[in-house]
Amino acid sequence: MKIRRKLLLSYLLLVALFIAAGATITYNTTKMADLQTNVKQQVEINDNAYAYAQGLDQKQFGTIMYTMEDAQKGEEIMVSSAETIVKAQDYLKNALANNPALLVKFNEVVDLDWNTINPAITQISAIYSSTNMTGDEQVAGIWAQLTILMNAVSQADAKLADVRAATMANVQAATVASQSYATFSTLLAVGFIAATTVASVGMAAAMGNRIIRPLKKLADIAHKVSLGDLNQRHYLKENIDIKTGDEIDELVDAFRRMINAFRLTETMASEALASEAAVEVEVEQ
């Protein structure tokens, strides 16, 4: 494999590591964003359940005020509470659509509101404005209806408290899950940095060794050959016979060929000198 291809492969390995870590962290971040959206919705459900409970309490307070102190002020409070309740109810009906257990519980609250609390208020209003009843009968009737109303409001409050507790539990679970995703992302980032560092240093060292070591040996041999040591051919064969399969191999082959040429030229020159000397001896004789 050529050096360029080896370097490219190392680079691609690092890129693959980056992509894998990036994809995992992105996935975690998306999950955390989903969890945050869920937490936000749960908090809103909690707020609206609280508003609904407040509305019911206002309605009860307004009814008591209507019957005992100030009918007009009581009516105003009841109207205000109805607005709060309707708004919270609309939101909760939609938001709890994908949570059947909580929706059932909330529907029980709505049933109490519509089938017990509101009829009791209607009854109280009717008794209060009745002209056919004596004062004692009115008080007894109103008190009986108030008792029904207060019991129903208490039951509704308890059920809404259950809804709120469930949403808080969901918020806590989502928070824990979000924290675990965050912890995993942090660990992954740290692990990725460590893995990338180790891989980079390892690959750089390996690639460096594979390229630099034969080159250093070749440089050493070239130095000796340049000083006339043609026996480096043997050294080259024994020590640089490294099959890296890249340009280093080609360089080693070329170098070996060059030393062979030097050596052969030197031998041929020596033989020529020897034959010239022999001719001279013959001439002298």
Q: Within 238-277, which residues bind another protein (CB under 8 A)?
A: 254, 257-258, 260-268
Q: Within 179-238, which residues bind another protein (CB under 8 A)?
A: 233-234
Tokens matching residue 170: 């969901």
Sign of the CA dihedral running 276, 281, 282, 283: positive
Nearer to another protein, 23 or 264 (CB): 264
Tokens matching residue 133: 């009843």
CB of 223 to another protein, least distance (A): 19
CB of 145 within 8 A of CB of 124? yes
Determine the Cα angle at 136 with ends 130 and 142, to 5°: 60
Kindly state the number of chain residues that form the binding site for another protein, as judged by CB under 8 A: 14
Nearer to another protein, 212 or 261 (CB): 261
CB of 272 to another protein, least distance (A): 9
CB of 260 to another protein, least distance (A): 5
Determine which helix (DSSP H) or strand (DSSP E) holds 120, and give its type and residue range: helix 118-128
Query: Which residue's structure tokens are 């709060």?
Result: 84
CB of 233 to another protein, least distance (A): 7
Contacts of 112 by beta carbon, 8 Å cutoff, 6+ apart? 152, 155, 156, 159
Q: Is 93 helix (H, G, I), strand (E, B) or coil?
A: helix
CB of 261 to another protein, least distance (A): 4
Nearer to another protein, 31 or 263 (CB): 263
Binding site for another protein (CB under 8 A): 233-234, 254, 257-258, 260-268
